[in-house]
Amino acid sequence: MTLADVAPSGRCRVIGAAEENRDFQSRLYALGLFPGAMVDVLHVAPLGDPLQVRVGHTLISIRKKEANLVQVEED
């Protein structure tokens, strides 16, 4: 399952991200989206893009296209 599949008010744990794109993976890790991190999906825009998520004390808006590259498991 990916981060884009998590419903609003859902909680999940990151298990991996963008193995094929190291630059994007590094950017996600710098934002706190690294394996083991807990993520709360707060809002999804009316047209489904972007998503607002909370990782720790940080709020992040992420495009659905990019959220599809973040592998997660439900908590």
Give the confidence band of 28 by pLDDT, cuts at 50, 70, 90: confident
Quickly count: other Cβ atoms within 10 Å of residue 70's Cβ: 25
Q: pLDDT (tens digit, 9 = 90+) per residue, 66-75?
A: 899 899 998 7
> Tokens 């399952």 belong to which residue?
1
pLDDT of residue 21: 78
**CA of 6: how far to CAs of 20, 22, 71, in Å?**
22, 24, 11
Which residue would you say has higher pLDDT here, 21 or 31?
A: 31
* Answer CATH for 3-74 from 2.30.30.90, 3.30.70.260, 3.40.50.300, 3.40.50.920: 2.30.30.90
Question: pTM for this one?
Answer: 0.84
Of residues 17, 11, 50, 45, the one with CA closest to residue 31:
17
